[in-house]
């Protein structure tokens, strides 16, 4: 991965989401008042998102740690979703919902 400061391809000062840590990030102002974003390139040289200032400042070791943490967090979220058991889903019946509304009206 390679990170390069480049002139923002977006219009205005709109925030982007850091591909590495997921946090919101605003472009910085360059010396000639242009808006700059830290663009991430994969090993094939394809641009694949932007990095926030904190991630850029964290350096290679810091970025590795941040990305590992994020991968772990995604894995645990995936496990949580898988454990919900979506093969068999029971939703409340219309009668149950109707009874709820009647209770609301009565109280």
Around Cβ 1, how many Cβ atoms within 10 Å?
14
Q: Which residue has the tokens 């590795």?
A: 64
Q: Which residue has the tokens 């979220």?
A: 77
Of residues 69 and 97, the one with the C-beta less far from Zn ion: 69
Q: Give yes or no for residue 21 binding Zn ion (CB under 5 A).
A: yes
Of residues 24 and 99, the one with the C-beta less far from Zn ion: 24
Of residues 39 and 55, the one with the C-beta less far from Zn ion: 55
Name which position in 16, 20, 39, 40 contacts Zn ion (CB under 5 A): 20
Q: How far is residue 58's CA from residue 18's CA, in Å, rounded to a whole number?
A: 13
Quick one: CA dihedral 42, 44, 48, 50, positive or negative? positive
Name which position in 16, 37, 39, 52 contacts Zn ion (CB under 5 A): 52
CB of 36 to Zn ion, least distance (A): 15
């Amino acid at each position: 991965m390679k990170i390069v400061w480049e002139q923002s391809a977006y219009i205005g000062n709109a925030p982007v989401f850091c591909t590495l840590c997921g946090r919101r990030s605003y472009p910085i102002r360059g010396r000639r008042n242009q808006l700059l974003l830290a663009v991430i390139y994969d090993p094939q040289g394809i641009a694949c998102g932007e990095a926030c200032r904190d991630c850029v400042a964290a350096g290679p070791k810091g970025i590795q740690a941040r990305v590992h943490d994020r991968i772990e967090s995604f894995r645990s979220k995936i496990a949580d979703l898988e454990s919900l058991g979506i093969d068999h889903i029971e939703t409340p019946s219309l009668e149950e919902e109707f009874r709820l509304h009647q209770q609301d009206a009565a109280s």
